[in-house]
Amino acid sequence: MATLNTKVKLYLEANSKVYNNELDNFQLRDDGSGAYIDVWDVDGLTKPTDEQIASYETSGNTIETNQAVSKNRRKEYPSIADQLDDIYHNGIDAWKATIKTTKDKYPKG
């Protein structure tokens, strides 16, 4: 399930607004019964309804899954220096095979 923060970011982007954590133009809270928008002060954009936020569930899930995949891949890829050395000594096809192992292990959604 996508986080409320991710869905709010998608709502902002869909309405031509840029998410900027430093502006604190909205605040999320969780009182134990689930996260909700506590403060909304986005210039020119009304606070989204629960239905509007819910409409971003699928795309939010995809984004969060792909972020986790990218993080896992970064941990397992050889360093850039080692990758360049692999290309130099073994060619592009061998390098692709090395990288493909990690890509196959962590496929994007």
pLDDT, tens digit, 9 for 90 and up, residues 7-60: 999 999 999 998 776 666 899 999 999 999 999 999 899 999 999 999 999 999
Name the pTM for this structure. 0.76
- Give me the pLDDT at residue 109, please: 73
Give the tokens for residue 94.
């061998």
DSSP the chain: ---HHHHHHHHHHHTT----GGG--EEEEE-SS-EEEEEE--TT-PPPPHHHHHTTHHHHHHHHHHHHHHHHHHHHSPPHHHHHHHHHHHHHHHHHHHHHHHHHHS---
Average pLDDT over residues 61-83: 96
CATH topology of domain 1-75: Phenylalanyl-tRNA Synthetase; Chain B, domain 1 (3.30.56)
Would you kindly state where each structural domain of the chain is located, as residue ranges?
1-75, 77-109
